[in-house]
Chains A and B, each alone.
Chain A
């Protein structure tokens, strides 16, 4: 399977007469864009705001991030979501690099939403401060969940995917500045040189723990709560087969942007044919009941073994309860002789003294740590807020609170904030971006 990602490097995003890409500048006709987003009758109010790296701007509550893309051959960028369901992972897709479409609540946030600071001290806590963010700031008619802590955020999330495709259309017929090629031969039809290298699978555990549908990550538009692990080509992941959900505490989240650019997949590709034989992705999930967790671990271990994997990287979109799935899966793989490395974050508490993962197993002897969800972060006021700052304190974001007898509320009168890393938008960069680790103090 061969995928070509044609990259168009974005230098600036501005509003103007005509929505187009020219010479690194993406121009958006705001009026038309708003009309497009409002085609979904559930979007009752919407504005589009551009946030650039270095600005003293705070964005909250952020629900989703998507890289603008288009497929020149007319297939949907997110099959089964923004258009008909067709196989992803091969052919050509065009991407606007260096920017993302953010889905932002105009007023209300939910448990899995996050915060982004574009400049100052707060910028280091999320990758998205480094991108030009085209923010859809919207309100919806989803009254059933307006005051719920858990929200599906369907309208805003779907608007993000559709709008990313809308913007991607500006480069549909253009020649990209660079083309990244991702190609794997069929597993049993590889050259002798590749075959003699240690073979490796990537086991992904996307978030799927909400038993009510509509909150979880989706694969080809299918809710992953109702799913058992399957073998996938990594190109499918990079090419829009998965979209992010709306449930996990935000620093542990994989946004759709993360799936589209998954650094651990790209790193395995880099080593493919040199030091490893990258077999592909075993796409697992995260579960609620122990039996479900064990079932998924069995599926993963069997598939890895049958594929002849010598090694596996396991990575989870979550912390806390999902640690049980993560550790079970690592142990199940080690039990069948597959050497493992895990990539995840930790929850050691505000004082750093708690057990780092919910379950532990000595078989998980090679772990990469990408951050501490409960690290306290205090940040000074921002000049500009996109969205509504009170959402952090009022709406039950995983890293915010309205009242604490020692710390006070998360949002203070002067606009300064105190929060847990939990609510930093994709802050622990578990997809593989994280320059953070955990150290003993």
Chain B
């Protein structure tokens, strides 16, 4: 039989309320409190229960996590479940923190449950399965049932469903599914329009998410002293594409030394971008990566220095998440070389 470990606070362990919230971490054999309800529905044995006071976890988080992880080092377990935490804010955050640490350290599935009002939801829903729970312990049985049915799917190696079907908060991950109804896009579209035209409620299949806006940077005070770097998503690379940057859906980037050239020569550089007609860029790579213009401006003293490298990747089909990761990697290099500003060219 598979094995599970459960995390609860001092209150649900029956130790006490607010007066005992400083209770230090402890591990006990077997199931305690809510785990008793859970164990009757779970296809796994709850071998241990970890208990920790909410205040202790809140004010000594690193220490508490370290102690708990040390309890788990010699234990075998297939899944880790915390809570449910209902509306209890500190308990919710504690469940999130310990689940996150356990997932990172032991790479086992971690599950918890909270009410939508619990601040832990916003903090942790992208890191783990946080199930939509009731407001108080009166909903314990229902909440535990939802967790157990999902946990059993994981334990049995079965396919799990979407957030709305399984009852967890969306983790910001969108994937395609085949509708059981078999209803086509055309049918859904026309039906949605008729509802909208008649003022009836309808549900968009793509709710527009909150926008991730980058604040505009402060201007450079003195351009004559500034070091400028140039960068492109237009796929300009040395002709042999040494970093094997993909022509679409790129996950790689490269940087190429331009300290000794006045411009990018055709035949030495080219574009590997698959989203536009490459003829003009191959004939003159500077139309995308304007090394020629930047060198001229440099000689004219329009700015202080040109960074020794240009940076390149491909933008077509490249996901926003991959783009952000690559940017973070590139920023380290730019900061090392004390670059003040970047000119980014697109296509």
Binding site for B on A (CB under 8 A): 111, 124, 149-150, 198, 200, 210-212, 249, 263-264, 266-268, 270-271, 275-276, 288, 310-313, 315, 320-321, 339-341, 343, 346-357, 360-362, 364-375, 396, 398, 401, 403, 420-422, 429-441
Distance (whole angstroms) from the CB of A206 to the closest CB of chain B? 17
* Contact between B176 and A421, CB atoms less than 8 A apart: yes
* Contact between A432 and B185, CB atoms less than 8 A apart: yes
Docked Cα-Cα span, A367 to B192, in Å, equals 9
Which of A268, A352, A375 has the most chain B CB atoms inside 10 A of its CB?
Answer: A352
Docked Cα-Cα span, A364 to B205, in Å, equals 11
**Pairs across A and B, CB under 8 Å, 26 listed:** A198-B198, A264-B190, A267-B190, A275-B194, A313-B193, A320-B275, A341-B192, A343-B185, A348-B173, A351-B173, A362-B208, A366-B192, A366-B193, A369-B206, A372-B175, A401-B246, A422-B317, A432-B185, A435-B179, A438-B175, A438-B206, A439-B162, A440-B173, A441-B163, A441-B173, A441-B174
Which of A212, A367, A429, A441 has the most chain B CB atoms inside 10 A of its CB?
Answer: A441
- Determine whether B277 belongs to the interface, using a CB cutoff of 8 Å to chain A: yes
| 7 other A-B residue contacts (CB within 8 Å) besides A367-B205, A373-B317, A398-B274 | A150-B274, A312-B193, A313-B193, A343-B185, A374-B319, A435-B184, A440-B173
Closest chain A residue to B182 by CB distance? A435
Partner of A360, one of B184, B208, B317: B208
Docked Cα-Cα span, A118 to B249, in Å, equals 27
Query: Digit string of B246-267 for contact with A (CB within 8 Å is 1, else 0)?
Result: 1111000000000000000000
- Determine whether B302 belongs to the interface, using a CB cutoff of 8 Å to chain A: no
- Determine whether B240 belongs to the interface, using a CB cutoff of 8 Å to chain A: no
Docked Cα-Cα span, A360 to B190, in Å, equals 22
Identify the 7 closest CB pairs spanning chains A and B, nearest first: A432-B186, A440-B170, A349-B319, A354-B319, A439-B162, A352-B173, A263-B186
Q: Determine chain A's interface SS by DSSP, over half rule.
A: loop
Task: Provide the residues of chain B in CB contact with A311, threshold 8 Å.
Answer: 193, 196-197
Task: Provide the residues of chain A in CB contact with B322, threshold 8 Å.
Answer: 349, 354
* Contact between B277 and A211, CB atoms less than 8 A apart: yes
Docked Cα-Cα span, A364 to B204, in Å, equals 9
What's the tally of chain B residues with a CB closer than 8 Å to chain A?
A: 54
Task: Provide the residues of chain A in CB contact with B183, threshold 8 Å.
Answer: 435
Task: Provide the residues of chain B in CB contact with A210, threshold 8 Å.
Answer: 277
* Contact between B317 and A367, CB atoms less than 8 A apart: no
* Contact between A276 and B189, CB atoms less than 8 A apart: no
On whether A267 and B186 interact (CB within 8 A), knowing A357-B206, A369-B206, A437-B177, the answer reads yes
Distance (whole angstroms) from the CB of A138 to the closest CB of chain B? 23
Distance (whole angstroms) from the CB of B125 to the closest CB of chain A? 10
Tell me the B269-288 residues at the A interface (CB within 8 Å): 274-279
- Determine whether B316 belongs to the interface, using a CB cutoff of 8 Å to chain A: yes
Partner of A368, one of B172, B188, B244: B188
Q: Determine chain B's interface SS by DSSP, over half rule.
A: loop
- Determine whether B74 belongs to the interface, using a CB cutoff of 8 Å to chain A: no
Distance (whole angstroms) from the CB of A156 to the closest CB of chain B? 20
* Contact between A420 and B197, CB atoms less than 8 A apart: no
Distance (whole angstroms) from the CB of B39 to the closest CB of chain A? 27
Docked Cα-Cα span, A356 to B322, in Å, equals 13
- Determine whether B218 belongs to the interface, using a CB cutoff of 8 Å to chain A: no
Docked Cα-Cα span, A53 to B176, in Å, equals 23
Task: Provide the residues of chain A in CB contact with B198, threshold 8 Å.
Answer: 198
Closest chain A residue to B126 by CB distance? A353
Task: Provide the residues of chain A in CB contact with B202, threshold 8 Å.
Answer: 366
* Contact between A346 and B317, CB atoms less than 8 A apart: no
Docked Cα-Cα span, A275 to B163, in Å, equals 33
Distance (whole angstroms) from the CB of A366 to the closest CB of chain B? 5
- Determine whether B222 belongs to the interface, using a CB cutoff of 8 Å to chain A: no
Docked Cα-Cα span, A361 to B278, in Å, equals 31
Docked Cα-Cα span, A303 to B219, in Å, equals 43
Closest chain B residue to A429 by CB distance? B185
Task: Provide the residues of chain B in CB contact with A440, threshold 8 Å.
Answer: 162-164, 170-174
Query: Digit string of B26-57 for contact with A (CB within 8 Å is 1, else 0)?
Result: 00000000000000000000000000000000
Task: Provide the residues of chain A in CB contact with B165, threshold 8 Å.
Answer: 439
Closest chain B residue to A363 by CB distance? B208
Distance (whole angstroms) from the CB of A418 to the closest CB of chain B? 13
Closest chain A residue to B252 by CB distance? A405
* Contact between B184 and A434, CB atoms less than 8 A apart: yes
- Determine whether B14 belongs to the interface, using a CB cutoff of 8 Å to chain A: no
Task: Provide the residues of chain A in CB contact with B190, threshold 8 Å.
Answer: 264, 267-268, 270-271, 276, 313, 341
Docked Cα-Cα span, A124 to B176, in Å, equals 12
* Contact between A367 and B173, CB atoms less than 8 A apart: no
Partner of B177, one of A354, A366, A436: A436
Partner of A432, one of B189, B212, B275: B189
* Contact between A351 and B321, CB atoms less than 8 A apart: yes
Closest chain A residue to B210 by CB distance? A360
Distance (whole angstroms) from the CB of B281 to the closest CB of chain A? 13
Closest chain B residue to A249 by CB distance? B317
Task: Provide the residues of chain A in CB contact with B205, threshold 8 Å.
Answer: 367-369, 437-438
Closest chain B residue to A268 by CB distance? B190
- Determine whether B215 belongs to the interface, using a CB cutoff of 8 Å to chain A: no
Task: Provide the residues of chain B in CB contact with A355, threshold 8 Å.
Answer: 209, 212, 319-320
Partner of A339, one of B193, B208, B279, B317: B193
Docked Cα-Cα span, A315 to B208, in Å, equals 17
Docked Cα-Cα span, A121 to B160, in Å, equals 18
* Contact between B247 and A396, CB atoms less than 8 A apart: yes
- Determine whether B59 belongs to the interface, using a CB cutoff of 8 Å to chain A: no
Docked Cα-Cα span, A279 to B202, in Å, equals 23
Task: Provide the residues of chain B in CB contact with A361, threshold 8 Å.
Answer: 208
* Contact between B184 and A367, CB atoms less than 8 A apart: no
Docked Cα-Cα span, A422 to B322, in Å, equals 17
Task: Provide the residues of chain A in CB contact with B321, threshold 8 Å.
Answer: 349, 351, 353-354
Distance (whole angstroms) from the CB of B253 to the closest CB of chain A? 14
Distance (whole angstroms) from the CB of B181 to the closest CB of chain A? 8
Docked Cα-Cα span, A43 to B326, in Å, equals 44
Which of B192, B279, B319 has the most chain A CB atoms inside 10 A of its CB?
Answer: B319
* Contact between A353 and B172, CB atoms less than 8 A apart: yes
